[in-house]
Every structure is written in structure tokens, then in C-alpha cells.
Amino acid sequence: MDLIKSLKSLTEEPLRRAARERKDSPLAVRFISIVDKVVNTGKACSVWPVQFGLACCAIEMIATAAARYDLDRFGIIMRPSPRQSDCMIVAGTVTAKMAPVLERLYHQMPEPKWVIALGNCAVSGGRFYQDAYSVVKGVDRIIPVDIYIPGCPPRPESLLDGLLKLHDKIRGESIADDPVREGIRPGMSGYEPAGE
């Protein structure tokens, strides 16, 4: 019973708090929270990332997916195409030449989608922050990021911790929220490719 109570409190409390703020009727709150629990459990237990492994952090991501640290037990299967995935793990250094490709792949992912910035280069440009003219100083200059995982490279345990935090974030969402993130549209990062 204690276990069930603690599990309930994990998921219900934030949803009820949000519903109270929206001043929904108690019946609607009850209904929405039950639907949210089911839907969010489904979403969280099967996050399929498109592995955007660019540099050394890709090795750590692969190591996390491999036998010792195993991502499959969380329902996480790496997908090769953004069209089939929920999450984009940006693992590695993003350069100015790669950035429009990254933005295009982000827009090709269907909603709901989340982004994890893995490693110092994706978080802030990392070791290339001071002097590299061609490195994007943090992938959040191009796309919105949900989870930041620092490290150079972060250990597999750190990536697992970040993915579990993503689970918490997913479980805290609600179907009553706006499904589309505000203000994200193609071209918002200010990039204009030559010739278009």
C-alpha cells in the first residue's frame, strides 16, 4: 500500500496542482488526471530517441545503450529516422555547418518531442566556447532543450539519470496543456541558407 501511495503521489500531485490552478471542475480533474496517468506512462516508458551522435559523446551514448548499462530495459530504442522518434539526444559538438541540418531534423520530428543536450559541447559549446569560430555555443541556440546533461563526456550513469529526469518531466505533463510548444516554427533560429 505504501508503494502504491508513493507512486500515486509522484504522478497525481503535480497534475492536481496544475488542474487546481486552471480551476477545472473536480470531475474534469479526476478524469484528466486518470487519462494523463495512462498516457504519460505510455509516453515515458517508450521514449524512442533519434540518436544524433556527432562526436565523442556519441560513444558514451552507444555505451549506455549497450549491454552493461542497457537502455532497452527502459523501453528506449534508438531510431535512425526523426520521423519515428520522440526524443532527440544531441550528443556532441554542433558546428555551424551542421546546425541547419540539426534544425531541419528537429522539425521533422512529430510532436510530442523532447530534446536532451548530452555533454558540454551541446550544453554550451564546452571546451570550444572560448576560441572556436565554427562551433555553436550550445544547441539551445537553435532548438529548445528539455534536459541538459553536463560532462565531457558524461558517464553512462549521467545519461541514465538525465533520461529518468525526462521521464519525470513527461509524467508531469497533461493532456490539458497546449500540445505545441509556443513559438517554435521553421526558420526561427535566424538561419537563411544561401540560394533560398
Partner 1 sequence: MSDDAIPTDLAERFADGITTAADGAWEIAVSAEQLRETLAFLGADRQPAFDYLVDIFAVDYGEQFEVVYHLSRPRTHEMVRVCSRLSRQKPSVQTVTDIWAGASWPEREMMEMYGVAVEGHPDPRNLLLPEGWKGYPLRKDYEYPDDHPWLSRDELHDKPGEYLKQHPVEE
Residue 193 touching partner 1 (CB under 8 A): yes
Q: Which stretch binds partner 1 (CB under 8 A): 57-65, 79-87, 133-141, 158-166?
A: 133-141
Q: Which position among 9, 75, 129, 180 is part of the footprint of partner 1 (CB under 8 A)?
A: 129
Binding string to partner 1 for residues 46 to 85, with x set by CB under 8 A, is what?
----------------------------------------
Q: How far is the CB of 41 from partner 1 (least distance, A)?
A: 30
Q: Which stretch binds partner 1 (CB under 8 A): 7-15, 150-158, 161-169, 187-195?
A: 187-195
The stretches of 75-118 forming alpha helices (DSSP H) are 99-108
Measured from the Cβ of residue 117, the count of other Cβ atoms closer than 10 Å reads 26
- For partner 1, give the closer residue by CB, 19 or 99: 99
Residue 141 touching partner 1 (CB under 8 A): yes
* Alpha carbon distances (Å) from 72 to 75, 88, 112, 117, 172: 5, 16, 21, 20, 23
SS3 content of the chain, % helix, strand, coil (to 5): 45, 10, 40
Please work out the total of residues on this chain that contact partner 1, with binding judged by CB under 8 A. Answer: 19
- For partner 1, give the closer residue by CB, 62 or 132: 132
Q: Are 36 and 175 in contact (CB under 8 A)?
A: yes
Measured from the Cβ of residue 138, the count of other Cβ atoms closer than 10 Å reads 20
Residue 30 grid cell: 479526476
Residue 133 touching partner 1 (CB under 8 A): yes
Measured from the Cβ of residue 12, the count of other Cβ atoms closer than 10 Å reads 16
Chain residues that interact with partner 1, rule: CB under 8 A:
96-97, 99, 124-125, 129-131, 133-137, 141-142, 189-190, 193-194
